[in-house]
Amino acid sequence: MKRSLNDYRKIVGDEVIGEIYRRARKLYGKTAVHVNSTYYGGGVAEILSGIVPLMNDIGIAAGWRMLRGTPDFFNITKKFHNALQGNSINLTEIKKKLYLQANAAFSTYSHITHDCVIIHDPQPLPLIQHYPRKQPWVWRVHIDLSNPNKDLWEFLKSYVLKYDVIIISSEDYRLRDTPVEQRIIQPAIDPLSPKNMKISEKDIAKYLKKFNIPTDKPIITQISRFDRFKDQEGLIDIFRIVKEEVDCRLVLCGSMALDDPESQQYYERTRRKANNHIKNRDVILITSENNILVNALQRVSNVIVQKSLREGFGLTVTEALLKKKPVVASNVGGIKMQISDGETGFLVEPDDRKAFAQRVIELLKNPSMAKTLGENAHEVVKKNFLITRLLRDYLDLLQDLIG
């Protein structure tokens, strides 16, 4: 069902809603277009499916386009994604060529007449060179850019420099070698989306049954694309340690994003590693894309984990915190902005599997501690990480650029 800003009154209050309408008034009739490379299966798609309709609801004609690419293109951009987060890459001329070609092709049939263009992440970054400069272009980068591969960054920088503004998620990601205005806007989640809205116990039970997830033991869950940076393999080791002390189940739920050709392979690796546990359903792997299932899983779990090695922001953490769940997560990237250790969850160094397991065990054994952390976390999310705050940040940005 279509959501409108008014629906959020009961969650954030009239002041916040009134302020958004006030700021939007100065932008009536303006047009903006977002471009990314997948409609589902990751944080960017999640944010856009919430924010784009809301922009339209308050009088800004916002569009959303998806860059089409071949499997080759997505293979390359996935390598770019990994290398921008610190991996090495063999940056050949053919890779550069295929990357640029997909962008050039898109520009031939995708006309841009909007007042502002917002490009998400590296896949559509070079589009900027195919259009006459008539409006501000914003590069919204969602990943952790604190340690990018040097060669790749040099190559991409020639496009990045053309942008009017870069939006990053954290001060830690500031591009010190890039003389382009950089603003920090933290991501946010939509409390009324199917993934986050309140659902009944009956619906939770129905979805767990449909996906064959028993509830006779405590459940630990990670919701994440199957990806080496999400480190599902590391979680299997942690689960083994936890299971020696508390009999429980691990659910790993991760759909395969359109723009992520490595996920199938990584999924297979995880499956092989967890093989014995999968046979007796102590580890359950799910690859379906289903928002209500994610919602149900987050609500039914005793502990939510996020074992990422890198994390631009980590909306899955936000989603769990909103649902008052105790979270044990790696002390990396955007997760650090969301959890304060011991108050709203637990942070653990990503290579310390023992400590990670200990925190999970602690929470499984101590439900009242889990409850307190979850309640504290809920308040933090309500204050800082809801889509209404993100909408206001976007309005401020648009006001400065095209108001």
Which tokens belong to 125?
């970054």
| Dist CA 315 CA 190 (whole Å) | 10
| Dist CA 360 CA 363 (whole Å) | 5
Please say whether the beta carbons of 350 and 331 come within 8 A: yes
- Our CB check for ligand UDP shows the closer of 148 and 254 to be 254
Q: Phi/psi of residue 361, each to 5°?
A: -60, -45
Applying the rule CB under 6 A, the residues between 118 and 177 that interact with ligand UDP are none
Please say whether the beta carbons of 345 and 329 come within 8 A: yes
- Our CB check for ligand UDP shows the closer of 305 and 398 to be 305
| Residue 223 makes contact with ligand UDP by CB under 6 A | yes
- Our CB check for ligand UDP shows the closer of 36 and 358 to be 36
Please count the residues of this chain forming the interface with ligand UDP, following the rule CB under 6 A: 17
Which tokens belong to 23?
């700021």
Q: Work out which of 5, 315, 320, 390 binds ligand UDP, going by CB under 6 A.
A: 315
Q: Work out which of 313, 346, 356, 385 binds ligand UDP, going by CB under 6 A.
A: 313
CB of 187 to ligand UDP, least distance (A): 7
Residue type at 283 in one-letter notation: V
The CA-based dihedral angle spanning residues 351, 227, 320, 348, taken in that order and rounded to the nearest 10 degrees = 10
| Dist CA 84 CA 78 (whole Å) | 10
Residue type at 134 in one-letter notation: K
Q: Work out which of 30, 42, 124, 305 binds ligand UDP, going by CB under 6 A.
A: 42
Which span sits near ligand UDP by CB under 6 A: 22-30, 152-160, 219-227, 367-375? 219-227
User: Taking each helix axis from N to C terminus, what angle separates 315-322 and 43-57, rounded to the nearest 10 degrees?
Assistant: 70
Applying the rule CB under 6 A, the residues between 239 and 268 that interact with ligand UDP are 253-255
Length of the chain in terms of residues written? 403
Q: Work out which of 148, 314, 326, 333 binds ligand UDP, going by CB under 6 A.
A: 314
Q: How is 318-365 classified by DSSP, letter by letter?
A: HHHHHTT--EEEES-TTHHHH--BTTTBEEE-TT-HHHHHHHHHHHHH
Which span sits near ligand UDP by CB under 6 A: 126-134, 311-319, 343-351, 357-365? 311-319
- Our CB check for ligand UDP shows the closer of 27 and 80 to be 80
Contacts of 380 (CB under 8 A, 6+ apart): 321, 338, 340, 344
Site string for ligand UDP, 178-207 (x = CB under 6 A): -----------------x------------
Which span sits near ligand UDP by CB under 6 A: 39-47, 133-141, 162-170, 321-329? 39-47
- Our CB check for ligand UDP shows the closer of 149 and 295 to be 295
| Residue 208 makes contact with ligand UDP by CB under 6 A | no
Which residues bind to ligand UDP, rule: CB under 6 A? 42-43, 46, 195, 223-225, 253-255, 289, 294, 313-316, 319
